[in-house]
Amino acid sequence: MNNVCIPPAFIFIIGAFLIPFLSGKARSTYVVLLPVAGFINLISIPMGTLMTVPFLDYTLTLVRIDRLSLAFGYIFHIISFITLIYILHVKKNLEYVAGFIYAGAALGTIFAGDLFTFFVFWETLTVGSVMLIWARGTKASASAGFRYLMIHVTGGLSLLAGIVMMVMKTGSIKFGFIGLTDAASWFIFMGIGVNCAWPFLHTWLTDAYPEATIGGTVFLSAFTTKTAIYALARAYPGTELLIWIGVGMAAFPIFFAVIENDLRRVLAYSLVNQVGFMVVGIGIGSELAINGAVAHAFNDILFKGLLFMSMGAVMYRTGKIKATDLGGLYKSMPWTAAFCIVGAASISAFPFFSGFVSKSMVMSAAGNHHMIAVWLVLLFASAGVFHHAGIKIPFFAFFGHDAGHRVKEAPTHMLIAMGLAAFLCIFNGTFYKPLYSILPYAANYEPYTLSHIVSQTELLFYSALAFTLLLLSGIYPAEMRAINIDFDWFYRKPLNALEALCSRIFNSINRFCDRVFVKTLTGQINGFAVNATTKLTNGLLSPVFRANAKKSAEDENSTSPEQAMPCGADVEKAFSTGTSPIGIFAACAGLMIVVMYFFA
Amino acid sequence: MFDNPKNVKRLLAIFFTSVVILFIMDFFVHKHAHFPWENWPVFYAIFGFVACVLLVLVSRYILRPLVKRKEDYYE
């Protein structure tokens, strides 16, 4: 089947290049309507479409619409629409253009039916996203952006190597199930893993996301990790290793989040934690688990976006984002506080909020397969995420001790964007059927059983009880003006030191060579080349000169200067001006022939 | 609203009451369990509480001393 349609990515990416020609209200209207146009185009493309175009010896599949790609397509359009409303205060074009290129690249990646198209859009994701980090314009964002770029380029190379090896071996560029078999599949696996923020590969996320612009972070939280989740669900469902990777991701970030002071970095850690649940779901690979992973990706984009938006609004009004500088903002920003609490309740999976209907699918899938350790760690992570994202974020920003900020409520467009996201969080949590109907497999799961509601509420309330008691007793770690080193320490400190050491060693070798070869030896060789013949001639003629000198001394009175016999200085002068007497010249030529005769 | 200690106390009272109600409710709800321990009374309550206390203690007393640095550490 070869249906022709407008690839969803093209609307965003080509549309992005028209933004610089617009300004003011026209630009605002345009950027908000572009995702709407994209969405209308998306729902007009029939299910099962495969749009192919010939390219060299291969056939590229620019658009593949199936249930898996479509679910991601819907949410990518929705969050683009919401985020664009959220950033309408931004004056510069860069963020809009970068945002659309980034979102368009994400759409291109998920709808790509072949590895080549997939790779091109995958790399475009990196380009778009790094612009959103650099757009902040601070020194910290510049260097975080560079580290981000280096890591993603490395991941991209791994992906490319895997794709090339795979295409060489199979001769097909089709992008479908791969599974962990040969070296090629491992390279692709690791390439995707970088974007998925696996443990030890996650530092680009927690390093760079809090350094991006206010709206940039909202964009970033939606696309890179979720396209990676899509790619894993497409190519590696049921890969057991993913279960353990996901368990690691769900567990370790919550410890860092508890002691982190930068609230957007807290959210970055909780992003890794939530993606962990999705990775576990893909690793389990059953229909329920894959459905759970996709549903949770859908919901996470909304509630994580909402949380980042609320923190962005706080940052926009107060200029602060560290917990030590914030507190008591519910008085000045009640709506933002309310929306933040909705996001917090959703990520914590309270009944009637979106996390409740999706996270539990992954938990149930683990339970169905009797994975005891996995289930226990996920339960621990569920309690932990409530602790750091559910309580800590709203508490330290809007309640806690009053930091004395008396600011205006967030701008209207931000409130509208947050309101939309909050509405969808509650809607998905309460009326979950529409969400379930777009999942890759038919969903028979029933989240609202009395048993599930009571056990989840118990888990959360007793987590809250622990927080309350620890806070009242003073054991809860006070927020401190400090940073916490993570795995990025290895490339920011020892690797930096190694670079400094290498630069010392190689630069001193360089300086030594410069002194010896360039400054000293070259001059000497040059001098030798210029003066050697003169010196040689002088040496050979020295008996003659000496005899001449003796003779001149004898006829001192009778000899005029014109008739003076040649001496060493004359020879030197003659050679340097090229005017040597024929006799000497002939002697030298003869000498040369003799030398050549012996040595040639 | 929360500057008044009375309101904070009231909120805490509501919270502690609901915690107790949940505790009692648990004995009357039949669980769809994957694992036997899910049927233990108030398993989720204890798990949630212990998990969070452990989380905070480990973060504060083990992780923080290992990873905490001055804010200008990387500059």
Which tens digits make up the pLDDT trace of A423-476? 999 999 999 999 999 999 998 899 999 889 999 999 999 999 999 999 888 888
Q: What is the pLDDT of residues A482-506, one digit of tens each?
A: 888 888 888 888 888 899 999 999 9
A166 and A255 in a common domain: no
**Structural domain contains residue A326:** yes
If you count residue pairs, one on A and one on B, with CB atoms under 8 Å apart, how many are there?
A: 146
Token pair for A494:
């020892």
Domain count, chain A: 3
Q: What is the DSSP annotation of B7-75?
A: HHHHHHHHHHHHHHHHHHHGGGPPP--SSGGGGSTTHHHHHHHHHHHHHHHHIIIIIHHHHEE-TTTT-
Answer yes or no: do A524 and A462 share one domain. Answer: no
Q: What is the pLDDT of residue A476?
A: 85
A213 is a domain residue:
yes
**Is A47's pLDDT higher than 60?**
yes
Residues A191, A323, single domain; the answer is no
Q: Which residue of A453, A463, A467, A472 to mutate against B (max B Cβ within 10 Å)?
A: A463
Instruction: Clarify whether residues A194 and A308 are in a common domain.
Output: no
Contacts of B14 in chain A (CB under 8 A): none
Residues 74-133 on A with a CB inside 8 Å of B are: none
Q: What domain range is A103 assigned to?
A: 1-236
- Same domain? For A469 and A570 the reply is no
A482 touching chain B per CB within 8 A: yes
As a whole number of angstroms, the distance between CA A44 and CA A39 comes to 9
Of B44, B58, B64, the CB nearest to A458: B44
Regarding whether A501 and A404 lie in a shared domain, the answer is no
Domain termination residue (choose one: A480, A514, A536) = A480
Classify residue A544: in a domain, yes or no: yes
Q: Are residues A500 and A454 in the same domain?
A: no
Mean pLDDT for A360-373 is 93
Distance of alpha carbon A97 from alpha carbon B69, whole angstroms: 37
Two structure tokens written together for A134: 């650099």
Other Cβ atoms less than 10 A from the Cβ of A278: the count is: 33
Is residue A556 in a domain?
no
A431 and A506 share a domain? Answer: no
Could you tell me if residue A247 is inside a domain?
A: yes
Q: Do B68 and A387 touch (CB under 8 A)?
A: no
* Pairwise CA distance, residues A548 & A564, whole Å: 9
| Three-class DSSP category at A59 | strand
Chain B interface disruption, residue of A262, A458, A481, A484, most B CBs within 10 A: A458
Q: Is A488 within the bounds of a domain?
A: no
Residue B20 touches partner A, C-beta closer than 8 Å:
no
For A451, the closest of B32, B57, B68 (CB atoms) is: B32
Quote the CA–CA distance of A105 and A120 in Å, as a whole number: 9
Q: Which of A194, A212, A236 is the last residue of a domain?
A: A236
DSSP code string of A306-324: HHHHHHHHHHHHHS--BGG
- Cα maximum dimension of chain B: 58
Average pLDDT, chain A: 91
Top pLDDT among A118 and A595 is at A118
DSSP state of A62: E
Q: Identify whether A5 is part of a domain.
A: yes
Are residues A291 and A413 in contact, defined by beta-carbon separation less than 8 angstroms? no
Is any Cβ of chain B less than 8 angstroms from the Cβ of A403?
no
Q: Do A367 and B34 touch (CB under 8 A)?
A: yes
* B44 to chain A: closest CA residue: A459
Token couple for A3: 């249906």
User: Which tops the pLDDT comparison, A2 or A283?
Assistant: A283
Domain end among A214, A236, A258: A236
**How many Cα atoms occupy the beta-carbon half-sphere of A284 within 13 Å?**
28
Outline where A240-286 has alpha helix (H).
Answer: 240-259, 263-284
Q: Are A9 and A44 in contact (CB under 8 A)?
A: no
Q: In Å, how far are A45, A292, A333 from A324, measured between CA atoms?
A: 50, 37, 18
Could you read off the pLDDT of A226-284 as tens digits, one per residue?
Answer: 999 999 999 999 999 999 999 999 999 999 999 999 999 999 999 999 999 999 999 99
Using CA atoms, how far residue A82 sits from A36, A88, A315, A408, in Å, is: 10, 10, 18, 22
Identify whether residues A222 and A139 lie together within a single domain: yes
pTM of full prediction above 0.80: yes
Distances (CA, A) of A98 to A417, B47, B51: 19, 45, 41
Q: How far apart are CA A419 and CA A456, in angstroms?
A: 26
Q: Give the integer Cα–Cα distance in Å for A319 and A9.
A: 35
Say what the ipTM of the complex is: 0.93
**Nearest CB to B49 within list A367, A379, A466:** A466
Chain B residues with CB under 8 Å of A378 CB are: none
How open is the CA angle A335-A340-A345, to the nearest 5 degrees?
Answer: 130
- Amino acid at residue number A164: V
Asked if residue A486 belongs to a domain, the reply is no
* Structure confidence by residue, pLDDT tens digits, A504-555: 999 999 999 999 988 889 888 888 887 777 777 778 778 877 887 777 777 6
Domain co-membership, A466 together with A522: no
Whether residue A47 contacts residue A69, with contact meaning beta carbons closer than 8 Å, is answered with: no
A269 and A124 in a common domain = no
- Identify whether residues A505 and A470 lie together within a single domain: no
- Tell me the three state secondary structure of residue A3: coil
Among B15, B53, B69, the residue with its CB nearest the CB of A482 is: B69
Q: Reduced to 3 states, what is the DSSP secondary structure of residue A353?
A: coil
